Amino acid sequence: MKLVISMVLFVLSTSSIHAAECLYINSYHQGYAWSDKIETAVLAGLQGHCHVQVIRMDTKHHTSAAFGKKKALEIKAIIDANPPDVVIASDDNASKYLLAPYFRNSHIPFVFCGINWTAQDYGYPYDNTTGMIEVSPIKDLLSEAKRMFQNIQRVAFIAVKGVHTDEKEFAWMSRIYGRQGIQVVPFYVRTMAQWKQAYQQAQAFDFIVLNNIAGIADWNHQDAVAYLLTHSHKLTVTTYDFMAKYSMLSMTKCAKEQGEWAAQVAIYLLAGEKARDIPIVANEKYHLYMNPTLLAAASIRLLSGIRFHATRVQP
């Protein structure tokens, strides 16, 4: 159940509002649509409540553990030199490289968000930390696909090589779909050419999951759309809203929900509440999209229930 914070708890004295210092740590880079939306919601939610310093770890462009650890040490030095009143950390790598190794049960309160599927990988909960995990609607996607195609046995999963969150997403999908006797086969890529090759090979599967393209340095939108319009024969699905222009059916998580919740909780902590008293929750909001242009190119027609409820997008 989502945490509902009474407006009474948000009332801080004018002096404490302006004295408060908040730090927002973005695991990724400016320009990545998912974390941009979280960051925007966090900054909007904290406006007038604290001064916010933003640090971006850039771990989608630089995927090695060595880079993540180095960046975490840089941020740790900043926190140690000037401890903020509250820290918000979005997505997995901030927890993996910074919170878990250095700030477990510290005196500084932390709020995480955007961690895929489970927070147990990082030893949560801590006394000083709470947060919102990010669960993808992959069961609902499978249910809709099975309504359209009766005998689903193999699913292709296309993602970026070396990205921790993509690997985590595949592991959960493989586990959940495997319980129904469905094999999920990963295609990990780094370049546009590799992505095209994977997409072509994936046409032999029952449907295709397009997980992410962030981290493909030479990605070209026009080139991708042209390729999709001439090489698509199987249903493509995604759980990312910024991938809806490349997918036929999208059931997407809401990045804004993560940021708004994190900001709300940060304000709650600034008012003197304890992170250990706030339960870790999961996201609740999802959006449904369909891409008529790509569907028509592949001669695929969605069921009427989806067509009625889905928001239409174009490549």
**What single letter denotes the amino acid at residue 225?**
V
Assess whether 269 and 279 both reside in one domain: yes
In sequence order, what are the residues at sequence separation of 6 or more whose Cβ sits closer than 8 angstroms to the Cβ of residue 252?
137, 238, 239, 240, 241, 243, 244, 286, 287, 288, 289
Determine contact, residues 198/171, Cβ cutoff 8 Å. no
Has residue 312 got a pLDDT over 60?
yes
Assess whether 231 and 170 both reside in one domain: yes
Has residue 7 got a pLDDT over 70?
no
Assess whether 266 and 298 both reside in one domain: no
Burial 143-158 (b: 16+ CB within 10 A, else e): ebbeeeeeebeebbbb
pLDDT of residue 19: 74
pLDDT digits (tens, 9 = 90+) for 12-65: 433 344 479 999 999 999 999 889 999 999 999 999 999 999 999 999 999 899
Distances in Å between the Cα of 140 and the Cα atoms of 16, 89, 92, 113 are 45, 28, 24, 22
Flag whether 2 is in a domain: no
pLDDT of residue 5: 40
Flag whether 1 is in a domain: no
**What single letter denotes the amino acid at residue 128?**
N
Assess whether 188 and 276 both reside in one domain: no
pLDDT of residue 217: 87
d(CA 128, CA 137): 29
CB burial class (10 A; 0-12, 13-18, 19+) of residue 195? buried
Indicate the number of domains in the chain: 2
In sequence order, what are the residues at sequence separation of 6 or more whose Cβ sits closer than 8 angstroms to the Cβ of residue 116?
92, 133, 134, 135, 136, 165, 168, 169, 172
Assess whether 193 and 249 both reside in one domain: yes
Assess whether 260 and 130 both reside in one domain: yes
Through-space distance between the first and last CA atoms of the chain, rounded to whole angstroms: 36
pLDDT digits (tens, 9 = 90+) for 264-305: 999 999 999 999 999 999 999 999 999 999 999 999 999 888
pLDDT digits (tens, 9 = 90+) for 193-224: 999 999 999 999 999 999 989 889 899 999 99
Has residue 6 got a pLDDT over 60?
no
Flag whether 58 is in a domain: yes
pLDDT of residue 150: 79
pLDDT of residue 163: 86
CATH number, domain of 244, equals 3.40.50.2300
Question: Residue 157: which domain range?
Answer: 138-253+287-312
Give the model's confidence band at 164: pLDDT under 50 very low, under 70 low, under 90 confident, else very high.
confident
Assess whether 112 and 33 both reside in one domain: yes
Assess whether 56 and 185 both reside in one domain: no
pLDDT digits (tens, 9 = 90+) for 91-146: 999 999 999 999 999 999 999 999 989 999 899 999 999 999 999 999 999 998 99
CA atoms within 13 Å, Cβ hemisphere of 283: 26
Has residue 76 got a pLDDT over 60?
yes
The CA radius of gyration of the chain, in Å to the nearest whole number, is 20
Flag whether 193 is in a domain: yes
Has residue 1 got a pLDDT over 60?
no
pLDDT of residue 188: 96
Assess whether 194 and 298 both reside in one domain: yes
pLDDT of residue 219: 96
pLDDT of residue 301: 93
Assess whether 280 and 147 both reside in one domain: no
Tokens of 157: 């999963």
